Structure 1
């Protein structure tokens, strides 16, 4: 299935505010990161808006709710998805949302619990 550029509205939850409208050629997922006007945001939630035309529903727009991501976020790309922290650490959660159990706020550099996986 080919994904065309989907109009995407980027909003914050608290306070509810529209940050902008962009076109994405990929389908955003919760936990993904998005760059908008030089600032990084983490996607918390995605909602679809459909329009009924010619007897069927068509994807009209995607609305993503985001929160600002920290500037010093260390990420690694594993199997096509971004995870937080150092993937070589034994305690890394291999997750887009949480770094690890022993030091969830990070950073990984200089952590006293760091061990080779």
Structure 2
């Protein structure tokens, strides 16, 4: 079986559907991971697998990562083996790898008057 990490990977901007690059990665990005390309940082929003029919069977051909421009969050918490943005002990934290909270999504958590 082919490893996903050895697959050709297309990196696509989500809003414009522009293909930023086609690369081979030595890791398998999941939604919520960050990817650095040409000095810019992108958040992975979605990962899709592309298959081709070969000899009567579908075979994984490449991976498409849908990304958006982002900055890496400075505040992160680990909950049940999953990294989330911000202070996970706050009752308003979204416990998400993509959004901090509805009240103050851009952060930081420290100094937020709603932090509980």
The TM tier, using the shorter chain, reads 0.7 to 0.9
Alignment of 1:1-117 (within 5 A): 3-4=3-4, 5-71=6-72, 73-115=74-116
In the TM superposition, what is the alpha-carbon distance from 1:82 to its structure 2 partner? 2.6
Which residues of structure 2 form unaligned runs of 5+? none
State the alpha-carbon separation in 2 of the partners of residues 77 and 71 from structure 1.
15
Q: Deviation per CA, 1:49-100: give whole Å up to 9, x if none.
A: 1122233111100111110013555333433433111223232121112212
2-side partners of 1:3 and 1:90: how far apart? 39
Determine the C-alpha separation between the residues in 2 that align with 1:23 and 1:90: 40
**What's the offset of the Cα at 1:17?**
1.6
Q: Deviations over 1:23-46 (max 9, x none)?
A: 234443333322223322112222
Q: Is the contact made by 2:85 and 2:98 (CA closer than 8 Å) also made in structure 1?
A: yes
Which TM-score applies when normalising by structure 2? 0.77
Q: Which runs of 5+ in 1 are unaligned?
A: none
Give the secondary-structure state (helix, strand or coil) at the position aligned to 1:102. coil
Task: Provide the aligned length of Structure 1 versus Structure 2.
Answer: 115
